[in-house]
Each structure stands twice: as C-alpha cells, then as structure tokens.
Amino acid sequence: MLKQNLQKLQQHPTPLYVYNISLLRQTLQKAKEESAKYNYHVHYALKANANAPILDEVRALGFGADCVSGNEVKRAIENGFSPERVVFAGVGKSDEEINYALDQDIFCFNCESSHEMIVLNELAEKKDRTARIALRINPNVNANTHKYITTGLEENKFGINAWELESVIALLETLPNLQLIGIHFHIGSQITDLSVFKNLCTRVNEFQEWFEARKIQLEHINVGGGLGVDYYNPEQQPIPDFEAYFGLFNQFLELRPGQQVHFELGRALVAQCGTLVSKVLYIKKGISTNFAILDAGMTELIRPALYQSYHKIENLTSNKQEERYDVVGPICESSDCFGKAVMLPETERGDLVAIHTAGAYGEVMSSAYNLRDKAAALYLN
C-alpha cells in the first residue's frame, strides 16, 4: 500500500503519519458486523487516536465514544458524536471536566472511587441534574500484557475493588443525584490471549450475582476494551479476529433479560491503519551492528521507549542485500530506539522507512520534547 504511493510520500516532509482509510473502513465494518450479531454497543476509545478524519469514519459507522478526559468528551461531541453515546472514565476527573460532561448530559460516567462519586453528586446537585453512573470495578483479572498497560489488578490505581463494593452501595443510597445504571470493567490493553476475556466474563458473572443478591438491577454491562493486534505480521493479519472476540463474550457472559452490553475498543480499530514514515538521516558504524538514524524518534512514537513494544520496520526504498541495524531516532535519550538488530536491506541516507502499526497510541502520544515539530498526517484512500 505504501510502496504504491511512494511518489506521493516522497513529496511530503518527514516524519509523517500515513493513514490507510480503506483499511480503517474495512476494520470498522468488520467490528460493526460482528458486534451487531449480538446487539452489542461499541464505543471507540478516543485516546488511541483522536484525529478528526479518523473520528469521522468511526462516527459514520455508528460507534459511540469512550473518553478519559474532558477534552476527549469535547472532541467527541464537537466531532458530532451524540452525547447519548459518550461514556467518560478516568481515576482523576477534575471538577471542570465533570461540569462540562454534566452540561452535555453524557450517557454515563464510569466512576472509579467513592470519593469521585461524592464529588460528582455534589456537582450534579448544584446543576439540579442526575448523573447516570456505572461503577468501574477492578475484577482482579490478569491481562497477561505489559505491566504499564495492565489495569485490572488490585495493585492498579483503576476502579473500585471488590471488597469496597458493599460500602460503595451503602454510600450510593445517600447520593440522590447519582443514578446507578450499570457496571464497567477495563482490564488492560494489547490482550492477544482471548482466554483472558473468558476470565473477565467469569468475574462479571460473579459480580452480577452479587448485585442480584442485593436486589440491584443493572441495565448496562460494559466490559471495556483491550483487544490486541498483530504487531509482528501487520500485512498478513491487518484486521483483528472480531468474530472470535465478540463470540466469546456471547458464549460466556450470563446476561439478565434486557441487559445491554457495551465495549470500548481503541487499538483494535485503528492501530493497523497508521504508519509512521521517516527518512534515514545517517548511517553510523557500530561494533556489532550499524545504526540507522531516522528523522523520527520517540517524540513521534513513544511506544518502543515506554513499553519496549515491537513495531515492524520496513525500508520502502531499498531492495539490496539485508544487513543488521539498530534503528534509532534523533532524541537525546538512549531509549529512543525503534528496534535493535533489525534486518533491513542495505540502508542509506534518504531512504524512506515505514514503522508499521502506529495508528493507535502513536500520534496522540507525541510530544514536543527537544522542541520538536509535530509530524504531519496524510490520509490515503
């Protein structure tokens, strides 16, 4: 796809984020189709990529929005997502963020602590409103993923722990401006072992019984996101196995009549459609390996530096004999490295290099460290 567009790419300054909109559409369509089989609601997690052209595609297919900051709520609404389809999570919602979301009358606040519930009730009362809430419960399920993207263990800061639930329910009785409509879970990201989601279903079923025993009705069950993508074989497997993913929840979640199930997918929807394209600035001879020094760095794509994550790297312009390179960026940090001992065709100054699967948690996480300019984005159909 990129090689067919080389001429176009060469006209643009680098580093450059390139988005394959037709792959994005196919991915969204597949997710829509598979989730629709069970009438599931899918909310797109804006934090993965909040570029307007990406959001336009997501919204056009009828997804809702999952937000983790006031500005994300704002971006979603300004982009045309209906407030009725916006959910808002996060352990540290500020008063300003809450007030904005209350004014917009969003569908649901996913509450992460009793303290947050007290503040939300106070702010809702001042506006003479009722806030719909779901309790974000920490199910203590191990996502078997990198520790920085594991969120569902008791040691993590996210959600309400099972042993706090009794007191949270008692507290709720004293908070008239909150309306409990459901429970919410999100256990981590880049989960490729589907049995993790089966464990989540088992825990959700146990919590459902707990609430039922207390005669509390839950209309909405939100199981969060976290479905992983194949960073190693982006071309062979560009679309995640949504059929297996949604099918698993259908098989293992025990629902009560009328209950609605919600998902919050980010990475699985947008990761593969984005590529970071960079130019080789210099080649430097090392002891056991050469360095290919790119004009993109951790300021454009921080995932390798932050989570030691793998991204497939491809030289788009050379087809010479393969050699071994450490592919690094220009930033003054040793962690500014996209890959060690990467086999690439002999690479020289001016070559274009693609860093694949960068559509999620790529451009959104870019920074101005070293006073770097923001990379441009190009959308290809």
Ligand X SMILES: *Cc1c(COP(=O)(O)O)cnc(C)c1O
* Binding residue positions: 226, 264-267, 303, 307, 333, 361
Compute the least distance from the CB of residue 309 to ligand X, in Å: 13
For residue 53, CA distances in Å to 21, 111, 164, 270, 378 come to 9, 30, 42, 12, 10
Compute the least distance from the CB of residue 364 to ligand X, in Å: 11
The region of 13-21, 219-227, 233-241, 319-327 touching ligand X under the rule CB under 6 A is: 219-227
Q: What is the per-residue binding string for ligand X in 73-92, x denoting contact by CB under 6 A?
A: ----------------x---
Compute the least distance from the CB of residue 47 to ligand X, in Å: 5
What is the rounded distance in angstroms from the CA atom of residue 42 to the CA atom of residue 66?
A: 9
Which of these, 199, 154, 206, 167, lies nearest to 183 by C-alpha position?
206
Q: Which residues are annotated as a binding site for pyridoxal 5'-phosphate?
A: 226, 264-267, 361
* Residue 187 binding ligand X, by CB under 6 A: no
Q: Is 313 helix (H, G, I), strand (E, B) or coil?
A: strand
Q: Which of residues 115-144 bind ligand X (CB under 6 A)?
A: none
Query: Looking at beta carbons only, is 271 or 292 nearer to ligand X?
Result: 271
Query: Looking at beta carbons only, is 186 or 203 nearer to ligand X?
Result: 186
* Residue 295 binding ligand X, by CB under 6 A: no
Instruction: Provide the token pair at 260.
Output: 């609605």
Which of these, 223, 375, 190, lies nearest to 298 by C-alpha position?
375
The residues, any chain, with a CB within 8 Å of residue 173's CB and separated by 6 or more, are none
Q: Which residues are annotated as a binding site for substrate?
A: 267, 303, 307, 333, 361
Q: Do 272 and 359 form a contact (C-beta atoms < 8 A)?
A: yes
Give the rounded distance of the alpha carbon of 147 from its chain centre.
16
Q: Is 305 helix (H, G, I), strand (E, B) or coil?
A: helix
Q: Do 223 and 172 form a contact (C-beta atoms < 8 A)?
A: no
Q: Is 74 helix (H, G, I), strand (E, B) or coil?
A: helix
SS (HEC) of 187-220 = CECCECCCHHHHHHHHHHHHHHHHHHHCCCCCCE
Compute the least distance from the CB of residue 26 to ligand X, in Å: 18
Q: Do 171 and 148 form a contact (C-beta atoms < 8 A)?
A: no
What is the rounded distance in angstroms from the CA atom of residue 73 to the CA atom of residue 66?
A: 8
Q: What is the per-residue binding string for ligand X in 3-42, x denoting contact by CB under 6 A?
A: ----------------------------------------
* Residue 48 binding ligand X, by CB under 6 A: yes
Compute the least distance from the CB of residue 193 to ligand X, in Å: 14
Question: Among 139, 234, 238, 266, which residue sits at the site for ligand X (rule: CB under 6 A)?
Answer: 266
Q: What is the per-residue binding string for ligand X in 224-263, x denoting contact by CB under 6 A?
A: xxxx------------------------------------
Compute the least distance from the CB of residue 260 to ligand X, in Å: 17
- Binding residues for ligand X, rule: CB under 6 A, are 45, 47-48, 66, 68, 89, 186, 189, 224-227, 264-268
